[in-house]
Structure 1
Amino acid sequence: MQARDRIGDRYELTYPIGRGGMGQVWAGYDERLDRPVAIKFLRQSEVPEDERAVAAKRFRREARATARLDHPGVPAVYDLGEHGEDLYLVMQLVRGIVLADHIAEQERLPVHEAASIAAQICSVLDAAHRASLVHRDLKPQNLVLTPTGAVKVLDFGVAALLGPAEASRLTTTGRTLGTPAYIAPEQAAGSRVGPVADLYALGCILYEMLAGRPPYQATNAPEMLRLHMGAPIPIVTEHRSDVPDDLAHLLFCLLAKDPAERPPSAAEVEKLLAPFLGGRPAHPSAPPPRTSDPVGSTPTADAAFVPPSRQDFTVVRARAQQLAEHERFVQAAELLEGFLRTCDVHPGAWQVVALRMDIANLHMLAGDLRRAGQQFEALADDLEQAATDLDLAENCRRRAATCRQELAGPASSITSGIDTMA
């Protein structure tokens, strides 16, 4: 697969996000609805022939399992289909940083931040468990922190349904699904797995956020499984003295070997975490207005393909014009935003001003009037402060006013901004 390949006659691949043993994940664009997406592929040619039927069934189950979870902490599922011999799943593309990378950078997170992240994970787990789903592979690598502080839980690919109608866990004979560093003892032993197995994994993640390392460390997977099943429960305060005793006790209970000794539900754990949030809400409020400022992100970010800075300004602008003519306004705007972040040009240069005007116009055309209005106002402020082009500044003020009027009153036609990109 390559960038610009088309999938399902509507999705264009932009850049690869990652790959695993049996598949790949690409960032892409839904040309029909003009929005960024993530496209996850199951490459059946890379699956052993005797396992393909099980892998395909598990892949389709992931689509159903994720689609049924109506929760802001779970990426939305948009589509499921086939591309040649491969299966693909189209999902919301999430902007943010993977929790594993955040821990690696910070080593130990502040107590209130770790508690907030854990509480948000609990909210997702509560929704999943009420829908009779157990994640079974919860780990920092499939948790994403968005720029607003919200947590997204990814990859329900090994989720098991609790209901009798679909009792099969799709476990290949002789294999244990899950990641050894975060696997519950009963899961490591191949026993029946229930919701409290996810709470054990949550305990491992919370421990790592606080201590800077997982609760158990081993040189190989079998040894790690043995530690989860039989080693003493580690005490987090032995590695970090500022963890409150009540939080340390909750963590000890989450890591209990016997499932019956763990808290009874994710909702209960979320309540027990509340005192440690430091007065901060566990669930961030509505996101602040988006801007074109660079946002630190991982390959899972919902940004458009960021072109190399050596790309010519005229070429990039022409490409954005082409996208806009096909009503792919969001993709065009994000293309220009990516270029603007990488180009080595003085902020007051005419090229930068032109790109900012283009971006605001594109967001206006896409219907994101609040964002467009803010961008027009910001550009007008900068132009007036520099006293470089007062006529353009006045033009920006008028366009910002149009955006405010559209937001406040009945919809009317939006003046086309495509011609300003010529």
Structure 2
Amino acid sequence: MTKLPEKLGNFQLVKQLGVGRHCQIWEAIEHPSRCRVAIKVVVPESAQDAGQRKLLEHELRVGKSAEHPTIIRMDRLSEEGGLPLLVMELFPHPNLKRLIVDGVDALGPLVPRIITELSLAIDHLHTRGWVHRDIKPDNVLVASDGQVKLIDLAIAARLPGLLGRLFGGKGPVQGSPSYMAPEQIRGQTVDGRADIYSLGCVVFELLAGKPPFAAVNANDLLNKHISATPPSIDKLNRNATTSVSQLIRKMLAKKPADRPASMKEVLKTIRSIRFFERAVADT
């Protein structure tokens, strides 16, 4: 992948925050205001691909329509040096995946706030008519006090109406294999309950240190989401309460109809239960 110049128009690149197949995400200083921002830049190899620009336009549209304290704020689309880029709020904290890899025990005191704020973000997206379709720890930024920002709205889709739910056909399979709902894997029309399934996978991983399913290849992994019974969280974390184990089990139901009906239902449960049998001390 071609290395980007140190400066793109008015943006001075400071630190690379992430990289994908077609984009790089950078912390940048915008001149002359010297405001620190995050920018998602289409790399030179993909700069002429109209589809990549459309993805940025789509992410901006979703973000603008669903502004919320728990969702990363989108500013504007720009182009510098022939490279399309999306200017976003800078939230200079690691993603949840990195924190889980470093050890879930240290996250214990933050678990209720992380799960609650992530749930609020997803609920707000649903309220605004969007399903995220890629809820995973990599897409959740977490500050040291547990404050959360949900990121990467690129494959968010409009929630289907009644006719879409009844007669929606198959579409391209999009998402991340470790966190995809069975209906998403099958390419079926998805609604907010697909995000609820993915959130269940994230809550499981936050308590167990690993996702509910693992396999030697993507096909086996996807098949497990479709047909295998997930392990009980209290077998992997003996401090997890029966209440949170039951909630995760319901969120990971194979059939959408067997999951909580909405994120509001999930939030109501989250706010009424304890996550741990014994208090978890700050480290």
With normalisation by structure 2, the TM-score equals 0.86
How far does residue 11 in structure 1 lie from its aligned partner after superposition?
2.3
Amino acid at match of 1:121: L
Offset, 1:58: 2.0
State the one-letter code of the partner of 1:137: D
Greater CA radius of gyration, 1 or 2?
1
Provide the rounded CA distance (Å) in 1 between the counterparts of 2:27 and 2:5: 11
State the partner residue of 1:415.
Answer: none
How big is the alpha-carbon RMSD for the aligned residues of Structure 1 and Structure 2? 2.2
CA distance in 2, matches of 1:183, 1:144: 20
- Aligned-pair identity in percent equals 31
Report the Cα distance in structure 2 between the residues aligned to 1:41 and 1:196, rounded to whole angstroms.
Answer: 31
Task: Using the TM superposition, give the Cα deviation of residue 234 of structure 1 relative to its aligned residue in structure 2, in angstroms.
Answer: 2.1
- Give the alignment of 1:75-94 within 5 angstroms: 75-94=72-91
Is the 8 Å Cα contact of residues 60 and 75 (structure 2) preserved in structure 1? no
Equivalent AA in structure 1 for residue 274 of structure 2: F
Q: Secondary structure at the match of 2:144?
A: coil
Q: Pick closer, same or farther for the CA change 1:32–1:76 going to 2, 3 Å.
A: farther
Cα deviation per residue 1:180-239 (whole Å; 9 max; x = unaligned)?
001111101111111111111110010011111110001111111111011113211121
Q: Equivalent residues in 2 for 1:233-382 (5 A)?
A: 233-274=230-271, 275-276=273-274
Partner of 1:55: 52
Is 1:225 aligned to 2:227, yes or no? no
- How much does 1:25 deviate? 1.1
- 1:2 paired to 2:1: no
Shift of 1:277: 6.3
Q: In the alignment, what sits opposite 2:202?
A: 205
SS at match of 1:121: helix
2:95 corresponds in structure 1 to 98
Which ranges in structure 1 are unaligned for 5 or more consecutive residues?
168-172, 279-422
Kept after mapping to 2: 8 A contact 1:109/1:209 = no
Alignment-mate amino acid for residue 87 of structure 1: P
CA distance in 1, matches of 2:204, 2:198: 10
Distance in structure 1 (CA, Å) of the matches to 2:194 and 2:270: 18
> Is contact 2:240–2:275 with CA below 8 Å preserved after alignment?
no
1:126 to 116, 123, 142: 123
Matched-pair contact (CA < 8 Å) for 1:113–1:277: no
Q: Which residue of 1 aligns with 2:279?
A: none
Contact 1:116/1:277 (<8 A) preserved: no
Instruction: Note if contact 1:185-1:229 (Cα within 8 Å) is conserved in structure 2.
Output: yes
Q: How far apart in 1 are the matches of 2:130 and 2:17?
A: 26
One-letter amino acid of the counterpart of residue 276, structure 1? R
The offset of 1:109, in angstroms, is: 5.8
Greater helix proportion: 1
2:108 and 2:26 map into 1 onto residues whose CA distance is 34
Q: Which residue of 2 aligns with 1:18?
A: 18
Cα distance between partner residues in 1 of 2:121 and 2:266: 12
Where does structure 1 differ by over 6 angstroms across 4 or more consecutive aligned residues? none
2:70 aligned with 1:73: yes
CA distance in 2, matches of 1:130, 1:175: 24
Rounded to whole Å, the distance in 1 between the matches of 2:31 and 2:82 is 23
One-letter identity of the residue aligned with 2:57: R
- Amino acid in the other structure paired with 1:248: S
**Change over 3 Å in CA distance of 1:146–1:112 after alignment to 2:** closer
5+ long unaligned stretches in structure 2: 165-169, 277-283
* CA displacement 1:252-273 (0-9 Å, x = unmatched): 0000000111111112211211
Aligned position for 2:28: 28
Whole-angstrom CA distance in 2 between matches of 1:124 and 1:239: 27
Give, in whole Å, the separation in 2 of the partners of 1:218 and 1:19.
25
Shift of 1:13: 1.8
Alpha-carbon separation, structure 2, partners of 1:116 and 1:63: 27
